[in-house]
Amino acid sequence: GAGVSQTPSNKVTEKGKYVELRCDPISGHTALYWYRQSLGQGPEFLIYFQGTGAADDSGLPNDRFFAVRPEGSVSTLKIQRTERGDSAVYLCASSFDRGPEGYTFGSGTRLTVV
Which residues of this chain interact with another protein, rule CB under 8 A?
A: 4, 31, 33, 35, 40-45, 48, 55-56, 59, 91, 93, 95, 98-101, 103-108
3-state secondary structure of 84: helix
Q: Residue 110 Cβ, how far from another protein at the closest point, in Å?
A: 9
Q: Residue 39 Cβ, how far from another protein at the closest point, in Å?
A: 11
Q: Which is nearer to another protein, 12 or 15 (CB)?
A: 12
Q: Which is nearer to another protein, 8 or 16 (CB)?
A: 8
Q: Which is nearer to another protein, 59 or 72 (CB)?
A: 59
Q: For residue 66, what are the CA distances in angstroms to 2, 52, 80?
A: 27, 14, 8
Task: Tell me the C-alpha distance between 94 and 74, whole Å.
Answer: 11
Q: Residue 106 Cβ, how far from another protein at the closest point, in Å?
A: 5
3-state secondary structure of 68: strand
What is residue 98's DSSP assignment?
S
Q: Residue 52 Cβ, how far from another protein at the closest point, in Å?
A: 16
- Residues facing residue 90 across a β-bridge: 36, 109
